[in-house]
Amino acid sequence: MLKAQETVLEIDLKKLKHNYKYLKSRVNKDTKFLAVVKAFAYGNEASEIALCLENLGADYFAVAYIDEGVALRKAGVTTPILVLHPQAVNFNVLIENNLEPSIYNTKILKEFLEITSSENKQNYPIHIKFNTGLNRLGFWQGDVETIKNIIGETKSVSIKSIFSHLAASEDLNEKTFSLNQIGTFKAIAHNFEEIFGFKPMRHMCNTSGILNYPEAHFDMVRSGIGLYGFGNSEEENKHFKPIAALKTCISQIHHLEKGESVGYNRAFKSESALISATLPIGHADGLGRIYGKGKGFVTINGKKAAILGNVCMDMIMVDVTNISCEEGDEAIIFDGNATAETLAEAANTISYELITSISQRVKRRIIRV
């Protein structure tokens, strides 16, 4: 593996393949697999990852917003793409790029029907989102008949799936709540089939749902964080391989005397002589200020180096007093050993926030299968 000579995010598609195959092994062979590649594939590189997963056989992709789906189409992705939070102002773009909207309330449903009818579309695929307890987006359990009345006899759309989202699938202390959600969704699906007279595809499970609630796999499962190497539990993490490694290098080393300060606002003041190293990565690159003042750390030559003082926009300073190193040496912010999850926990946040924050100015280096 090349040593970092600048700040770089290495993305290992071999590890992505491993995670995909492990997740697939946890579901029935007839259950479809939707890969969530929103937010630049959780801060990685959406097009490369989607094309790799398409080649591996993923049945669907999901993005949050329409522009994300457009970028995948421009990259050559042909697999169906579900847009989880489409905005009506962009419906024309969605249709032009053959993207499939999540329809989550009557306003969005009516607006989408208006545009598909005006463009004489036939059986344009849509997905109906139901709220079963997350209370974020979605129709309510009692809205099935309302949906039917709004759609009426139109042939401009075709309901491809109905789906919902578990609120706490990773937390087994909330198992009763999750099971209630699953029960509610089953009741919605049954009512839907009776009112509409057909059975659409059903999906509810995210990564932790795949692992913890096999009874809710239904016709398709959705995975985001699992594909990128995290199983949301210490036990499950053993089966996953983080696909990304954020690396940088030492720009300069300083020898400081007792009482000297480091960085903005003199947020760190040395109580004894120490050695600091300056690295070219900061909060503009996605390493937020919450990692400053000793909460965060990097790994240099196998040893932890705590972040000194405040994280700057483009740089951090770390304590290398007890580390044998020199200018130009590699520093690892996170990888498969010192994981993003470990670093995030040190600052009382989660791996999702850390990895999705990695700036697009950080160079991506793809390690291919």
Identify the active-site residue in 199, 264, 303, 363: 264
The 10 Å Cβ neighbour count of residue 162 is: 27
* Terminal Cα-to-Cα distance of the chain (whole angstroms): 14
Verify whether residue 21 is a known catalytic residue. Answer: no
Asked if 352 is an active-site residue, the reply is no
Nearest to 34 by CA among 207, 215, 216, 158: 207
Residue 101 C-alpha from the chain's centroid: 19
Half-sphere exposure of 148 (CA within 13 A, CB side): 12
Residue 352: both structure tokens together: 């999702």
Nearest to 67 by CA among 45, 28, 96, 94: 94
Q: How far apart are CA 125 and CA 156, in angstroms?
A: 9
φ/ψ of 11, rounded to 5, equals -120, 115
Q: How far apart are CA 66 and CA 82, in angstroms?
A: 9
Give the C-alpha separation, 274 to 257, whole Å: 7
Catalytic one of 15, 24, 32, 38: 38
Sequence-ordered list of residues with C-beta below 8 angstroms from that of 225, at least 6 positions apart, any chain:
42, 206, 207, 232, 351, 352
Which residues are the active-site residues? 38, 264
